[in-house]
């Protein structure tokens, strides 16, 4: 998959997730022990090894599937 296709897929997910505003928060832990509070549950991007989510300040972030250890709803 090329970079343009990946960018378009991520943009589609961001647009879809923007309409799903909730008061829920999620704790995402990584395989290296880092923990991050997110405003959306990480969603897999089809055809890639990435998850996309919004962090607690509203930035769109991505994470490799191999780096994601656990997601806990807060």
3-19 pLDDT, tens digit each: 656 665 666 566 555 55
pTM for the model: 0.67
Sign of the C-alpha dihedral computed for residues 60, 20, 2 and 47 taken in this order? positive
Contact 10, 23 (CB under 8 A): no
Q: Which helix (H) or strand (E) holds 7?
A: helix 3-18
- Say which CATH topology domain 3-73 has: SH3 type barrels. (2.30.30)
23-51 pLDDT, tens digit each: 889 999 999 999 999 999 999 999 999 99
pLDDT at 23: 81
């Amino acid at each position: 998959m090329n970079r343009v296709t990946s960018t378009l897929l991520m943009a589609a997910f961001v647009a879809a997730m923007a309409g799903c505003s909730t008061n829920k928060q999620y704790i995402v832990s990584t395989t290296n022990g880092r923990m991050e509070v997110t405003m959306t549950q990480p969603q897999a991007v089809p055809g890639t090894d990435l998850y996309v989510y919004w962090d607690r300040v509203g930035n769109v972030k991505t994470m490799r599937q191999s780096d994601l250890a656990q997601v806990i709803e807060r």
